[in-house]
Structure 1
Amino acid sequence: MARTRYASDRGLTSRMLVTMFLLGLVYVVFVGAFFVIAPKWGGIALAVAVVFLLAQYFFSDRLTLFAMHGREVSPEEAPELHGVIDRICAMSDAPKPKVAIADTDVPNAFATGRNQKKAVVCVTTGLLRRLDPVELEGVLAHEMAHVAHRDVAVMTIASFLGVCAGLITRFGLEWGLWGGFNRRDNNDQNTGLILLMVVAVSAVAYAISFLLTRALSRYRELSADRAAALLTGRPSALASALTKVSGEIARIPSRDLRSAEPFNAFFFAPALTKGFSVSALFSTHPSLDKRLAQLQKISGQLGRGE
């Protein structure tokens, strides 16, 4: 964690370390099995996955802003927004990130960038219209906690196994559907069997890494909530913002939410469409009740002077 005044949480940190250890263990097993089953394809698959990882790591700020139609704004263009960011930087002793605004009615915010020098904090116009200055400060303190904790870098590295396994599974299935599983001579049958084994191992590795990465993401959201509440000393303001944003998201048209859902891992609150969805089962964020319960506990601790 970068040297700022954001508070750490040993309990959450230990759970994140355990999750990262398990991800590393799955990665080692996956790579070992892959190179045993198909040593000729191992180098190619690994090289493709590394390219994706490096692109996401080094260009996450630009890619995310571009995808969300966000643009960097100057202090003259958004003086109130810059003022809130400046106050948080003074409280946390953190360098000021770039400030951006995305023109969408979906009320949300996100932080991106692999380190503090490359960090960008972006808010939507929908969020700016709905929150008062104190609530906005809580949300932005949460997002800047992600920057201080280097969450983008951590989640990019953590998702590497899932990206690698997912690519192999997808390409393997597509090749198999074009006849790779149904070769008739002995050599081709062996190739089809190897391909089938690679797809099976990759699919299992992807499923496990997916669950572990989602768990890690939920831990980091709780950690950012806690750090922001302790920094500002106003957990009730963050709780109010969470409640308001979650309620307003429920009123956003499903079409707009579907376009925003791919970026849930970055958002302050997930943009979930109404009804049953995989995102609700394997969410990147803890439930609203869990986040509010933690903030209520922190509020009690601050009230007792702990």
Structure 2
Amino acid sequence: MARTRYASDRGLTSRMLVTMFLLGLVYVVFVGAFFVFVPEWAVVALVGAGLFLLAQYFFSDKMTLFAMRGRIVSPREAPELHGVIDRICAMSDAPKPKVAIADSDVPNAFATGRNQKNAVVCVTTGLLRRLDPVELEGVLAHEMAHVAHRDVAVMTIASFLGILAGLITRFGLYAGLWGGFGSRSRDQNTGLILLAVVAASAVAYAISFLLTRALSRYRELSADRAAALLTGRPSALASALTKVTGDIARIPTRDLRSAQAFNAFFFTPALGRGVSVSSLFSTHPPLDKRLAQLSKISDQLSRGV
């Protein structure tokens, strides 16, 4: 991966390593136990989750664009948007990603792709209508920071255990519904084994869920910081955050629901007014925490720190 001028974040790197290590431990214990007690389920779930992981890793850019109805646009089609991306690339010395636009009134942006060579930065038409060029630059610098920090690849791999646990939980529930929980066959332990499978899978899923969400929140703060330092305009990014968050609250709930599946990728989550999400389960840190960090960076830049 090419080096960029984005500020390095040792905190993000250490959290990525710790999260992957802890998930690896849970994964080894989890899969090892199922290979001992129910090897046929473990093999099926492992193969299925592995195939999904490979597909998501290698085709995440195409899958996400398709789901969001985004399309790659040329400089001729979107000269102003490409101009902003070109400026960020010049400032960061990063390879230029593919540029896409999604036809959605939900004002947001996201980056996808396993590395800089395959990266795509996509903005919605709603975002383009609401932000001025300086604010848009802050948002796109944030998204390109995710690419520079390898966020997409790391989060894809980190989600593997959750996918595996979810598949095994589903298989176990299906087997129970088909008679496993009340089986009167010669193996009287079938029902207990199925219950153990579902319980263990649920625990593994919960652990992976909490770990990946904690990492996701920190990576958003890290991308905010990197973008603010790169552009030298933390106030522009703060303005974009405030404007986008406020406008999202006014989007019809029906439109928000179609976008909420992609909250982990978005610049800011698609949550309507009155929706309260526990900080423990959120993909993004609270708005006031992001604004406080940007305000601190602004003070540091003004003092030349």
Query: TM-score scaled to structure 2, two decimals?
Result: 0.96
Counterpart for residue 52 of structure 1: 52
Question: Is the deviation greater in 193-202 or in 83-92?
Answer: 193-202
Counterpart for residue 33 of structure 2: 33
Amino acid paired to 1:25: L
Distance 1:70 1:144 in 2: 17
Map 1:190-269 → 2, pairs under 5 A? 190-269=189-268
Distance 1:15 1:114 in 2: 19
Question: Is the deviation greater in 246-255 or in 23-32?
Answer: 23-32
Counterpart for residue 166 of structure 2: 166
Distance 1:277 1:58 in 2: 34
Distance 1:210 1:291 in 2: 22
How much identity, in percent, do the aligned residues show?
Answer: 86
CA gap of 1:2–1:32, structure 2 versus 1, over 3 A, is farther
State the secondary structure of the residue aligned to 2:123.
strand
CA contact (8 A) 2:5 2:230 kept: yes
Query: Is there any run of 5+ residues in structure 1 with no aligned partner, and where?
Result: none
Counterpart for residue 6 of structure 1: 6
State the secondary structure of the residue aligned to 2:264.
coil
1:179 shift after superposition: 1.4
Distance 2:189 2:268 in 1: 48
Counterpart for residue 305 of structure 1: 304
Query: Is there any run of 5+ residues in structure 2 with no aligned partner, and where?
Result: none
Distance 1:278 1:234 in 2: 29
Distance 2:36 2:2 in 1: 40
State the secondary structure of the residue aligned to 1:122.
strand
For residues 15-43 of structure 1, give each alpha carbon's deviation from its aligned partner in whole angstroms, at most 9, with x where no partner exists: 33322222222212212222222123222
CA contact (8 A) 2:214 2:280 kept: no
State the secondary structure of the residue aligned to 2:110.
strand
Counterpart for residue 97 of structure 2: 97
Amino acid paired to 1:151: D
1:115 shift after superposition: 0.9
1:232 shift after superposition: 0.4
Distance 2:186 2:273 in 1: 51
Query: TM-score scaled to structure 1, two decimals?
Result: 0.96
Map 1:14-163 → 2, pairs under 5 A? 14-163=14-163
Distance 1:11 1:44 in 2: 37
CA gap of 1:280–1:248, structure 2 versus 1, over 3 A, is farther
Amino acid paired to 1:108: N
Distance 1:102 1:206 in 2: 31
1:279 shift after superposition: 7.2
What is the count of residue pairs matched by the alignment? 305
Amino acid paired to 1:104: S
CA gap of 1:265–1:157, structure 2 versus 1, over 3 A, is same
State the secondary structure of the residue aligned to 1:229.
helix
1:267 shift after superposition: 0.4
Amino acid paired to 1:216: L
CA gap of 1:57–1:279, structure 2 versus 1, over 3 A, is farther
Distance 1:42 1:146 in 2: 33
Amino acid paired to 1:205: A
Distance 2:216 2:104 in 1: 24
State the secondary structure of the residue aligned to 2:189.
helix
Map 1:283-298 → 2, pairs under 5 A? 283-298=282-297
Amino acid paired to 1:255: R
Map 1:181-196 → 2, pairs under 5 A? 181-187=181-187, 189-196=188-195
Distance 1:40 1:71 in 2: 41
State the secondary structure of the residue aligned to 2:121.
strand
Question: Is the deviation greater in 168-177 or in 155-164?
Answer: 168-177
Amino acid paired to 2:167: L
1:192 shift after superposition: 2.7
